[in-house]
Amino acid sequence: LRFGSPNVCLSGSSASPESENTDSSSLCSQNAEEGTAIQYARSFQEFTLHPVLILRGGYRLFSACYPFLSTQKILWMPQELDNFQTYPVEILPAQLYMGSFKQACDQQILKDLKIKAQVNVSEQPA
């Protein structure tokens, strides 16, 4: 578990991203349908101060939407986590993102997210 950010469990309860609900019902502390991901999330919550969130649709849907974030790697070294490339926050699925100046200049991120236009609202010049 990473103690600096929310932890995520995958759940296979949803068939498509269109049926996703972004309200707090995705938290495992809510009355969610009991399943393996929910059980693990409840267990994880006992060991962290950060919320444990459930991604509906499971790994299959996640990896279909974000293949560039999927990995077979199980263990990460601390140096690898420090150098881990973060991506912008997705505001509207596959349409609107909010990120840093560094992310906006990263050609790999722009390619992965299929970003065609940017609006710079930072104090740094473009």
pLDDT by residue (tens digit) across 23-65? 433 333 344 456 777 888 888 888 888 788 777 787 888 889 9
Look at residue 43 in the predicted model and tell me its pLDDT.
Answer: 85
Residue 92 pairs in a beta bridge with 96
Residues spanned by the domain of 39: 1-67
Provide the domain count of the chain.
2
Residue 77 covered by a domain: no
Q: Is residue 14 part of a domain?
A: yes
Note whether 2 and 63 are same-domain residues: yes
| pLDDT value at residue 28 | 39
> Based on the domain organization, do 4 and 48 belong to the same domain?
yes
Kindly report the number of other CB atoms within 10 A of residue 13's CB atom. Answer: 16
Mean pLDDT of 72-80: 87
Say yes or no: 62 and 4 in one domain.
yes
**Burial level of 54, CB count in 10 A (0-12/13-18/19+)?**
buried
Average pLDDT over residues 85-104: 93
